[in-house]
Amino acid sequence: MGDRTDTRVLRRLDWVRFVVATASLAAWACNKGGGDLRRPSPVAAACAPGNGPECQKRCQAGDLPSCLTLERMQFLGAGLPADHRAAGALALRLCEGHLPAACYDVAMMCLLGVGMPHSDSCAVGRFQQACDGGDAEACDGLATLYLSGQGVGKDEARAHALFERACKGGKQTSCVRVGWNMVANPKASTGDDKRAADLLARACLQGQSAGCVGSGILLLSGRGFDRNPGAAEHLFEKACAGGDPSGCNDLGVMYQYGHGVTQDLPRALTLYGQACEKGYALGCFNEGAVVARGQVGPRDLPRALELFERACAGGMFDGCVRLGVAYEFGAGVAADATKAVGYLERACDGGNLEGCGRLGLYKLNHASGRADLSSGVELLEKGCAGGEMLACGPLGELYWTGSIVAKDQKHGMELAERSCSGGAAEGCGVLGAAYRDGVDVVRDSTRAAAFLERACDYGAVGACAPYVALARDAGGSDKIAVIRRQLQAQCEAGEALPCKALGDICVQEQGNEDEQRQAVKWFAKACDGGIADACRSQGIMNHEGRGTARDDGRAVTLFEKACELGSVRSCVHVGHLTKAGQGVARNEARAVEIFRKACEQGSADGCEALAEMYDEGRGVAADRVKAAGFYEKACAGEVANACENLGVLVMRGEQGGAKDDARAGQLFKQACDRGGPEQRYSCAELQLRGLGVPKDPKAALATLRSICEKNHWRPACTRAQEVERTLADKRF
């Protein structure tokens, strides 16, 4: 609806300009009674606009140019009382009599819903009829509809062909559009650049500021002209002074980055402000970006968000993305999930691929079920396919790990590398984490640090703490202090995510109590800003008594807040504390429901916890078959302990089917491979079977006895007794 309104306003201005230019009316005639239409004599001329009686008389006498002038006078109420219905009826008769200019008028009335019922399809048909009759204005109007997809399928190629046709018909504004299309085409040939330069220069000389701005861009880049920043500056200044906000904005870009002029950030900010005040959305966005970075004066995030709001409202969807991110992470404003999603959806719906990528990430990170996960993947696919590197990195991680999508390590690596080399912090972060953890690649701390450092430099603050950890392990780096200062400045300016990163850096110094207290401070600040993982981290500090006195009640409160903010892991924490009665009244039945909800939201840890409740009959009637089903889900989510527990049930035939020792062995191998020494039971089972390791029943028995004595785990005790009997019978 907003696009339609904007189009109507712009086209109404064209309408008024066209009515004034009566000298360009086509020469056609109608008979005295206004019935059959016939071609006029070549010398026929229209009546003077504004002279109602004369125009009515000449129209009745068969002077069709006067009929067209009369129709427009009736529509505008100029020289005659306004009568939209009469104007529409006359325009329709003239159009059906093959008068292209009248068909243009009918199209405009249909588009505006004035004098004719509103109908975009009517506008498309009449514009086409007029354009085919040689009316350049109509070709331009039809091109505008194809460009926006209003009343017709969006078709940029068709739109540009129509602008070209209108340009050849003498429509100068269409020539400017043709020139601008060539300027915007990264694959434009030298010949295209020269033609664009010619079209835009002609338009500029005829007083069209858009032609001057386009010529300035070509002069600045050396396309179609010899490079001449001074001339570009002059043209931008001329356009800006003449009231064209795009000239002010482009001149601001020159001064912000020092393109051909001495860098002058205050002047750039002033020029962006001028462009914004004149309604130019890109000027508002650029002004907001300078204010948000604090490049001129102190950082002012609330003011920056006001400017991004104006940019977003003006159709500059990068502004919507910045607002979405701000509301997601609580940067300069209280975190608000509904507003975050709303702004990101608006950006994505408007064709902004970064908006699609960020919306996809939001859905994946805050999924309430399978539908959100599927939608998140689709949005990442859409963004990445369109060349948005921010979407390619996380999508690569999904393919790499086989999380949510079918595992394809080669494709995952390609996407992450493509994203990182394309300058997206997310892709570099994915590669850094993979090499750090040895996820489907050989562990390489040096490469991991390099990728994480690049991600941090690119602005992914979540990669800064992992980089600092690796840098410390490698002996330290001067850059650690630099990173801490930058994050602290951002945090104190109101950005919540850098506060979380600072906390993550401080908590690494586990033997330093002062650093632990600092970690609690930064986590608290980030949690107040709506960062769910920060609330979770603060809750862990309270639960463990690190950097603060142990307080399980406070920990539960923080985990519950994090859970409400979308951290499913925190919901699982609440479940475990509720199950144990730590910081909250013990309630195993409530813990079961908490685990169930977390499992439904895609948490493998939640599924494992729920499976254990069914396995042990705590808070719910014991049901090993249901337990096996939830262990299966958790094992698929790579929870090693769930694979181990499922293996025990399968080995004993308690999973709802017959005993299956081979399947149990596979599960124990999964558990041992994933959990390593922590999954001692599974590794012992491998030793008993000789799966991937030398067969050693005695060593396995020692491990099982140790687990039984130290952990009092029934399956380990039972299995140790079985192995003892087997060894006594010499069956191994």
Contact 265, 293 (CB under 8 A): no
pLDDT in tens, 15-64: 222 222 222 222 222 222 333 322 333 334 788 888 888 999 999 988 88
pLDDT band at 677 (very low <50, low <70, confident <90, very high): low
Angle ∠(344,350,356) on CA atoms, nearest 5: 40
Contact 23, 45 (CB under 8 A): no
Residue 5, pLDDT above cutoff 60: no
pLDDT band at 1 (very low <50, low <70, confident <90, very high): very low
pLDDT of residue 629: 95
> Crossing angle of helices 136-148/2-20, nearest 10°?
170
CA distance 311 to 319: 5
Higher pLDDT among residues 637 and 270, named by residue:
270
Residue 10, pLDDT above cutoff 60: no
Length of the chain: 732
pLDDT of residue 730: 65
pLDDT of residue 3: 33
Structure tokens at 172: 């100068």
Segment 89-116 mean pLDDT: 93
Buried b / exposed e over 40-70, threshold 16 CB at 10 Å, is: beeebebbebebbebbbebbbebbbbbbbbb
Strand, helix or coil for residue 699: helix
pLDDT in tens, 139-159: 999 999 998 899 999 898 999
Residue 678, pLDDT above cutoff 80: no
467 burial level (CB within 10 Å; 0-12, 13-18, 19+): buried
Computed from CA positions of residues 668, 670, 675, 676, in that sequence, does the dihedral angle turn out positive or negative?
A: positive
pTM, two decimal places? 0.65
Residue 577, pLDDT above cutoff 80: yes
- Hey, how many other C-beta atoms are within 10 angstroms of the C-beta on 31? 13
**Does domain 316-380 fall into CATH 1.10.3720.10?**
no
pLDDT of residue 520: 96
pLDDT band at 732 (very low <50, low <70, confident <90, very high): low
Nearest-CA neighbor of 558 among 545, 570, 576, 544? 570
Computed from CA positions of residues 460, 464, 467, 469, in that sequence, does the dihedral angle turn out positive or negative?
A: negative
Task: Report the C-alpha dihedral over residues 325, 331, 332, 334, rounded to 10 degrees.
Answer: 90
Segment 506-529 mean pLDDT: 93
DSSP 461: G
pLDDT in tens, 360-414: 999 988 776 778 888 999 999 999 999 999 999 899 988 887 778 888 888 988 9
pLDDT of residue 424: 87
pLDDT of residue 68: 93
Amino acid (1-letter code) at residue 607: C
pLDDT of residue 42: 33
Nearest-CA neighbor of 130 among 140, 121, 120? 140
pLDDT in tens, 696-709: 888 888 888 888 88
* Whole-number Cα distances in Å, 139 to 170, 173, 368: 11, 12, 49
Amino acid (1-letter code) at residue 686: L
pLDDT band at 688 (very low <50, low <70, confident <90, very high): confident
Segment 596-610 mean pLDDT: 92
Q: Where in the chain is the domain with CATH 1.25.40.10?
A: 1-170, 316-380
* Whole-number Cα distances in Å, 199 to 71, 324, 358: 34, 39, 39
For residue 30, the cross-strand partners are 37
pLDDT in tens, 580-594: 999 999 999 999 999
CA 411, distance to chain mean position in Å, is: 22
Nearest-CA neighbor of 688 among 709, 708, 673, 704? 704
CA distance 640 to 163: 62
Buried b / exposed e over 159-189, threshold 16 CB at 10 Å, is: bbebbbbbbebebbbbbbbbbbbbbeeeebe
Summary mean pLDDT of the chain: 87
Nearest-CA neighbor of 404 among 345, 363, 462? 363
pLDDT in tens, 235-276: 999 999 999 999 999 999 999 999 999 999 999 999 999 999
pLDDT of residue 23: 26
pLDDT in tens, 297-353: 888 889 999 999 999 999 999 999 999 999 988 778 888 889 999 999 999 999 999
Helices (H), 545-619: 552-564, 568-580, 588-600, 604-616
pLDDT of residue 85: 93
> What CATH number was assigned to the domain covering residues 1-170?
1.25.40.10
482 burial level (CB within 10 Å; 0-12, 13-18, 19+): exposed
High-pLDDT (> 90) share of the chain, %: 59
